């Protein structure tokens, strides 16, 4: 399984990469939404899940969600916001735009595991 981690913080990408790698995912990284879109256009196979920060330069996380949802080939990709944006209105906007789940930073590895498990994206036999 393939996960895409999209965050302008290298440290946060590393943290998320470690978490999902332990769950059996291969990981590709992008420093912003535009870099992630460029990757998706250059590769035939879309990731199973994208973990997306909201606040990034060039293309923010919400713009990325809207862009991905507009492309039929990418609609099966699961999108999970992982962000400091904690206002209810922001959560509603992201989910309405097409995000499947929402995790507020700071988070624990268990929180990421639980959300992925809820989405059916944790391989059988893997535990947190």
Residue 113 counted as domain residue: yes
Residue 125 counted as domain residue: no
Residue 123 counted as domain residue: no
Residue 81 tokens, joined: 């916001």
Residue 48 counted as domain residue: yes
Residue 128 tokens, joined: 């947190």
Whether the CA torsion 122, 80, 57, 75 is positive or negative: it is positive
Q: What confidence score (pLDDT) does residue 125 get?
A: 65
Helix (H) or strand (E) holding 69: helix 61-69
Residue 104 counted as domain residue: yes
Rounded to two decimals, what is the model's pTM?
0.94
Residue 124 counted as domain residue: no
Whether the CA torsion 107, 48, 2, 36 is positive or negative: it is negative
Helix (H) or strand (E) holding 82: strand 78-83
Residue 128 counted as domain residue: no
For the stretch 109-128, pLDDT in tens is 999 999 999 999 987 666 66
Q: What confidence score (pLDDT) does residue 123 get?
A: 76
Domain extent for 61:
2-118
Domain count, the chain: 1
Cβ proximity of 4 and 28 under 8 Å: yes
Residue 44 counted as domain residue: yes
Q: Domain with 51 in it: what CATH number?
A: 3.40.50.2300
Q: What confidence score (pLDDT) does residue 9 get?
A: 97
Low-confidence ranges of the chain (pLDDT < 70): 124-128
């Amino acid at each position: 399984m393939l996960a895409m981690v999209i965050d302008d913080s290298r440290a946060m990408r590393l943290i998320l990469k470690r978490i999902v790698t332990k769950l059996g995912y291969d990981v590709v990284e992008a420093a912003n939404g535009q870099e992630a879109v460029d990757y998706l256009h250059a590769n035939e196979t879309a990731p199973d899940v994208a973990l997306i920060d909201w606040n990034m330069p060039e293309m923010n996380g919400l713009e990325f969600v809207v862009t991905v949802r507009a492309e039929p080939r990418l609609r099966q990709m699961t999108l999970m916001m992982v962000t400091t944006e904690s206002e209810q209105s922001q959560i509603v906007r992201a989910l309405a735009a097409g995000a499947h789940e929402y995790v507020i930073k700071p988070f624990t590895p268990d929180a990421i595991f639980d959300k992925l498990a809820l989405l059916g994206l944790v391989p059988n036999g893997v535990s947190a």
